[in-house]
């Protein structure tokens, strides 16, 4: 992608000339971060159930029953109720893993929350750098930028991307043919959509929305667009539909048109691929993905987001990505837990296998067309979806699902009434 390398280099040169090219200030922790715990297990343990077995307090139960027109019993009035959680994203059950807990506790004891500030001021430590290196290796990318959330990672990337046109325009408003043409899947995540809207309003980019996973429509839009700077951005696994982006077909179009390919792998990181490298690894096209955005609050079971990319892209994003620049860095105990979770996922590969076994089991049980751990059930109208969300699960789910399947349940969007479930370890 020599064209895009040249564009980013030009943007970086413009920032350097204006003394606006930033770098993180690495804070050395004393003592240095310890090696991850070697604690690992051959199968699920009781600690894994902590991610799905919860207690709902008395007030919440009463409000829930009242909303459904039910009268609470004396038992409901006097105590909390134990429930199975059907709305979490902790697919791998790593949030409660002993090694992850141990890492967070040790880091808190040694460093407290760590230096509090943005990464460009004082929030970037040797632990943050260590995690960035681990994620870059996992994604087979040159570098990585750790962000406070997955949402901020996507918006930071989009704003940095849009800034290229204004930086190269040298102080004037970019002409339309100088702007970035961003082609976005119709069902991309809200963080991507908001980032694109922001750069559009700043007259830095022009957005084109292609029909969901429709490569013919995307091909038509690309061929019809005279703009030179083209970017295609897509979720890898769509969070509200449970289907995969056709990455191999996107790669073919990339080779044809030379666009920058950006993939949001929020729901694929650690879940997919032999090594947990996500859906690009699953499809064997890691080298064809230019920038990979991910979340640390789903498969990793912790908190945060990341952007795996080249070093030149990282320098541009940390200098122009406002949601990164103006956010406080992740606390050190959280970063330590991420480091431990990545290590555990390499050692306990069975976790990925169990999830996919549950996906297959659920598909055979329900006869639904299920291809991923995100399971969508259409129930009809918006009213029906809201009603199903408020009431208890139907007997099929509460009776037939194995105890080792986690299936978070909630209404996923008002404009497309359905229920969504996630398959996990428990």
Q: Is the peptide bond before 31 cis (omega within 30 degrees of 0)?
A: yes
Instruction: Give the strand order in the sheet containing 418-422.
Output: 374-378, 418-422, 410-411
pLDDT of residue 411: 27
Coil, helix or strand at residue 8: helix
Assigned token pair, 287: 């080298």
**pTM (predicted TM-score):** 0.89
Assigned token pair, 175: 């002409």
Reported as a single tens digit per residue, the pLDDT across 108-148 is 999 999 999 999 999 999 999 999 999 999 999 999 999 99
In DSSP terms, which residues pair with 181 in a beta bridge? 206, 230
Which residues lie below 8 Å from residue 141, measured CB to CB, with a gap of 6+? 292, 308, 309, 310
pLDDT of residue 396: 31
pLDDT of residue 29: 94
Reported as a single tens digit per residue, the pLDDT across 231-276 is 999 999 998 888 999 999 999 999 999 999 999 999 999 999 999 9
pLDDT of residue 384: 73
pLDDT of residue 309: 98
**Half-sphere exposure (Cβ direction) of 351: Cα atoms closer than 13 Å:** 32
Ranges of the chain whose pLDDT falls below 50: 392-416
Give the DSSP per-residue string, 10-67. Answer: HHHHHHHHTT------PBPPSSPPPPPP----SS--GGGGGGTEEEE-HHHHHHHHHH
In sequence order, what E strands does 226-378 have? Answer: 230-235, 260-264, 291-295, 305-309, 374-378
**Quick one: which H or E segment has residue 383?**
helix 382-390
pLDDT of residue 171: 78
The full set of domains in the chain, from first to last, is 2-28+101-347 (3.40.640.10), 352-426 (no CATH)
With beta carbons less than 8 A apart as the criterion, state whether 195 and 159 touch: yes
In DSSP terms, which residues pair with 184 in a beta bridge? 209, 233
């Amino acid at each position: 992608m020599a064209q895009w390398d040249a564009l980013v280099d030009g943007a970086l040169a413009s920032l350097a000339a204006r003394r606006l090219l930033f770098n993180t200030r690495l804070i050395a922790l004393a003592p240095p971060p310890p090696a991850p715990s070697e604690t690992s297990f051959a199968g699920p343990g009781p600690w894994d159930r902590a991610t799905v077995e919860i207690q709902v307090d008395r007030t919440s139960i009463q409000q829930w029953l009242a909303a459904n027109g039910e009268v609470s019993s004396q038992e409901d009035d006097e105590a909390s109720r134990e429930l199975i959680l059907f709305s979490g994203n902790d697919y791998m059950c790593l949030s409660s893993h002993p090694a992850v807990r141990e890492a967070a506790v040790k880091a808190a004891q040694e460093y407290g929350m760590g230096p509090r500030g943005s990464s460009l001021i004082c929030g970037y430590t040797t632990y943050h750098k260590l995690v960035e290196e681990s994620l870059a290796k996992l994604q087979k990318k040159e570098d990585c930028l750790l962000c406070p959330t997955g949402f901020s990672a996507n918006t930071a990337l989009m704003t940095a991307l849009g800034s290229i046109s204004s930086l190269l325009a040298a102080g004037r408003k970019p002409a339309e043919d100088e702007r970035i043409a961003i082609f976005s899947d119709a069902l991309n995540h809200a963080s991507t959509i908001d980032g694109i809207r922001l750069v559009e309003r700043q007259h830095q980019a022009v957005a084109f929305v292609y029909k969901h996973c429709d490569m013919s429509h995307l091909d038509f839009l690309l061929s019809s667009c005279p703009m030179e700077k083209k970017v295609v951005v897509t979720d890898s696994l769509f969070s509200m539909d449970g289907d995969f982006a056709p990455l191999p077909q996107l790669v073919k179009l990339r080779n044809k048109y030379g666009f920058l390919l950006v993939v949001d792998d929020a729901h694929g990181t650690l879940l997919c691929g032999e090594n947990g490298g996500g859906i690009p690894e699953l499809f064997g096209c890691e080298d064809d993905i230019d920038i990979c955005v991910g979340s640390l609050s789903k498969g990793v079971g912790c908190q945060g987001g990341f952007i795996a990319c080249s070093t030149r892209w990282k320098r541009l994003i940390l200098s122009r990505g406002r949601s990164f620049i103006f956010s406080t860095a992740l606390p050190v105990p959280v970063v330590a837990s991420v480091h431990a979770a990545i290590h555990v996922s390499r050692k306990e590969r069975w976790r990925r296998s169990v999830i996919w076994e549950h996906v297959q089991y659920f598909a055979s049980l329900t006869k639904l067309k299920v291809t991923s751990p995100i399971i969508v059930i259409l129930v009809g109208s918006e009213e029906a979806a809201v009603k199903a969300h408020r009431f208890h699960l139907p007997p099929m789910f509460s009776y037939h699902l194995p105890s080792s399947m986690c299936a978070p349940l909630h209404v996923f969007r008002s404009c497309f009434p359905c229920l969504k479930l996630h398959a996990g370890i428990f």
